[in-house]
Amino acid sequence: MKLTGIAIRNLERRKARMAFLIVGLMVGVATVVALLSLTSAMSADIQHKMENYGANILLTPKSNDLSLSYGGISLGGVSVDTRELNQDDLPKIETIPNSRNISAVAPKVLGAVEVNGAQVLIMGVDEKVEFHLKRWWSIAGEPIGAPDQLVAGSLVAAKLQLHPSDNVEISGETFVVSGILTETGSQDDNLLLAPLATAQRLLGKEGKVSFVEVAALCADCPVDDMVRQISSVLPDVKVNAIQQVVKTRMHALGEFRNFSLAVSLVVLFVGSLVVFVTMMGSVNERCHEIGIFRALGFRKHHVVRLILTEAGIVSIIAGAAGFVFGTMAAKGVLPLLVENAHGVVWNFVLGGGSVLLAILLGALAAIYPALHASKLDPADALRTL
Amino acid sequence: MSFITLNNLSKTYHTEAGEVRALKPTGLEIAEGSFLGIVGPSGSGKSTLLTLLGGLAKPSAGSLLIDGIDVYRMNEEKRADFRREYIGFVFQAYNLIPYLTAEENVMLPLAVTSMSSRKQRQAALTALQRVGLANRVGHLPNQLSGGEQERVAIARALVNNPPMILADEPTGSLDSSTSAEIMDLFQELNHEGQTILMVTHNVENRKYFDRVVSLRDGCVDVDEPKPTVKVAATG
Ligand SMILES: Nc1ncnc2c1ncn2[C@@H]1O[C@H](COP(=O)(O)OP(=O)(O)OP(=O)(O)O)[C@@H](O)[C@H]1O
Ligand SMILES: [Mg+2]
């Protein structure tokens, strides 16, 4: 029989105590693992969404006039002689040095048309790009699928009493309302969406676009550089970076991360406390036992090794189990927080970290009785109980 | 020189209530092969003396020589090695490790030696046979009677063939017939040449000793070497 053998006997024959220790440590480790996995999965998710969706560069015509709109209130309705961009110029955007960071170029034409005697803002869009870019749009019915189809914003639909598959007449042409945009709370609610070419024809703006949204492909790609590069290929265009959405999301994620950190610390603290209290509860028992070992001729380092072996075994089991349960919990919870999540993966670096963390905590808690007992004469240690 | 020599060995406990002079400076020589009884009223310092003899607590003053080794000049770790090689303890409370079987408890002193597990097991079995417990090898302490636990404790004290055995009231919690069996066992061991120092309350046990040291208030009151000392190994 060696020291390891003694440690294993102790764990084998005092299962309840060992189970308590393992659970205490495991809960702490599992929480940390779960929260870490969740935050990293969520930031990966946001990263992914930002790569695929949402515009972050806006191209508008350069205008010498001062803007006549403020806070979304535009004077005099839609200004008639707004300047436009040339659709033919747009391919130049693809020539900038950072062109591979561009995931979508979404041109739009804006104008007013008369529908059933009311003035309505119509926006011509490249439907394939647009509906992909505005992934938060949800449509009752179908998105635009043909040149004679329209999608109506919720306010427009309410005002004109439009329903999916209704017909509307604009400038003597008949269109089908393929779908209604559910309320977005934004300016989009006031729009009638039409295919770009159709809208250009209706507005007499063939080959012209009013503005262009450009989506860059990554979270931290050099948007400012890209703005400069686009400005240089399109000198007559005003190029602005818009990062509002991204910033808001990043901010929310940052708060979640802080929250996770706080919860992790608390749970870890409680877990260590459980372990510590369990260990302390048996300090006297342990002390007496150590007295016996010392009387029988164990050196102090033998005793310390014995106790650390024991704590090590418990900690490794608890750390590994905590990692497994934590990851599984994160896998279970993630779909509730993020839709279409890419998922939590088994991160074995995190697994190694969990075991190390558990060993550290377990050893800290275990070493106290050992140190306490080794300060005493064996005779005094034997007297404790 | 005798096997064990105490030079003005003393122990004072410092407590909040004041000092307790548990053992006043004591000189004593004990021959190899002795079966020495330490008697005296409760609180007279018997356990204290035995603890000092076993290298389990530092004396306040004086020195202890065993086999020419100055026990308290060694550092603590060396003293642990010394205990392992020289001394077998039998405690009144048995002090068996509750989660180890009889055999494993007996193997304990060997667990920190380089002895192979197979040899350890053999030695443990021999010792358990010696105390008549070969049929209880795999039992845990709480599955054994008091007398059986006592025997396991004795087997553990014997397992590494130490030159001396120290026993503190080994029969203190046993009935008289079991006590007699245990004392007979000690006597047999002594007849085989084992040095034994034993603290006891029980006057019945006196007849087994070849020398009785009687303590009172931390001092040696009476020291009665029997005329019939069997072996005085070293003069
Ligand atoms: N750790 C200690 N701290 C303080 N005082 C102690 C300690 N151990 C023993 N004493 C005191 O020292 C004296 C001698 O104690 P010791 O245990 O040696 O007596 P004893 O002869 O073995 O008694 P008993 O027959 O009751 O076991 C007692 O007065 C006791 O109170
Ligand atoms: Mg005593």
Residue B33 Cβ < 6 Å to ligand 1 = no
Residue B235 lies in a domain: no
Residue B231 lies in a domain: no
Is there a contact between A300 and B89 if contact means CB atoms under 8 Å apart?
Answer: no
Is this model's pTM higher than 0.80 or not?
no
Residue A295 dihedral angles phi and psi, to the nearest 5° = -60, -35
Is there a contact between A293 and B109 if contact means CB atoms under 8 Å apart?
Answer: no
Whether A345 and A324 share a structural domain: yes
For chain A, say whether B83 makes contact (Cβ under 8 Å): yes
Residue B232 lies in a domain: no
Range of the domain at A303: 3-48+249-383
All residues of chain A having their beta carbon less than 8 Å from the beta carbon of residue B84 are: 296-298
Residues of chain B short of pLDDT 50, as ranges, are: 227-235
The model's pLDDT over B161-194, given as tens digits with 9 standing for 90+, comes to: 999 999 999 988 888 898 999 999 999 999 999 9
All residues of chain B having their beta carbon less than 8 Å from the beta carbon of residue A377 are: 56-58
The model's pLDDT over A58-88, given as tens digits with 9 standing for 90+, comes to: 888 876 555 555 655 555 444 445 678 889 9
Indicate which CATH number applies to the domain containing B91.
3.40.50.300
**Contact between residue B208 and residue B167 where contact means Cβ atoms under 8 Å apart:** no
Q: How far is CA A185 from the centre of its chain?
A: 23
Residue nearest atom 26 of ligand 1, based on CA coordinates: B42
Strand B195-199 versus strand B164-168 pairing type: parallel
From A191, A207, A241, give the residue that closes a domain: A241
Q: Which residue of B has its CA nearest to A379?
A: B56
Whether A67 and A190 share a structural domain: yes
pLDDT value at residue B231 = 45
Range of the domain at B85: 4-224
Whether A29 and A63 share a structural domain: no
Whether A122 and A260 share a structural domain: no
Residue B234 lies in a domain: no
Residue B8 lies in a domain: yes
Residues of chain A short of pLDDT 50, as ranges, are: 76-80
pLDDT value at residue B98 = 93
Q: How many domains does chain A have?
A: 2
pLDDT value at residue A74 = 54
Residue B46 Cβ < 6 Å to ligand 1 = yes
Whether A345 and A215 share a structural domain: no
Q: Which two tokens stand for residue A52?
A: 């695929």
Residue B22 Cβ < 6 Å to ligand 1 = yes
In three state form, how does the secondary structure of chain A look? CCHHHHHHHHHHHCHHHHHHHHHHHHHHHHHHHHHHHHHHHHHHHHHHHHHHCCCCEEEEECCCCCCCEECCEECCCCCCCCCCEEHHHHHHHHHCCCHHHEEEEEEEEEEEEEECCEEEEEEEECHHHHHHHCCCCCEEECCCCCCCEEEECHHHHHHHCCCCCCEEEECCEEEEEEEEECCCCCHHHHEEEEEHHHHHHHHCCCCEECEEEEEECCCCCCHHHHHHHHHHHCCCEEEEECCHHHHHHHHHHHHHHHHHHHHHHHHHHHHHHHHHHHHHHCHHHHHHHHHHHHHCCCCHHHHHHHHHHHHHHHHHHHHHHHHHHHHHHHHHHHHHHCCCCCCCCCCHHHHHHHHHHHHHHHHHHHHHHHHHHHHCCHHHHHHCC
From A214, A241, A268, give the residue that closes a domain: A241
The shortest CB-CB distance from A13 to any of B99, B109, B117 is to B99
Nearest atom (ligand 1) to Cα of B41: 25
Whether A372 and A287 share a structural domain: yes
Residue B17 Cβ < 6 Å to ligand 1 = no
pLDDT value at residue A340 = 60
Q: State the complex-level ipTM.
A: 0.92
Q: How many domains does chain B have?
A: 1
Whether A154 and A32 share a structural domain: no
Distance in Å, alpha carbon of B228 to nearest chain A alpha carbon: 33
Is there a contact between A3 and B111 if contact means CB atoms under 8 Å apart?
Answer: yes
From A223, A241, A259, give the residue that closes a domain: A241
Provide the 8-state DSSP code for B167: E
pLDDT value at residue A66 = 57
Whether A66 and A191 share a structural domain: yes
What is the CA(A131)–ligand 2 centre distance, in A? Answer: 91
For chain B, say whether A15 makes contact (Cβ under 8 Å): no
Residues A327, A315: Cα–Cα separation, whole Å: 18
Residue B230 lies in a domain: no
**Contact between residue B4 and residue B177 where contact means Cβ atoms under 8 Å apart:** no
pLDDT value at residue B101 = 96
Task: Select from B3, B70, B65 the least CA-distant residue to B33.
Answer: B3
The shortest CB-CB distance from B84 to any of A2, A9, A296 is to A296
Distance in Å, alpha carbon of A14 to nearest chain B alpha carbon: 7
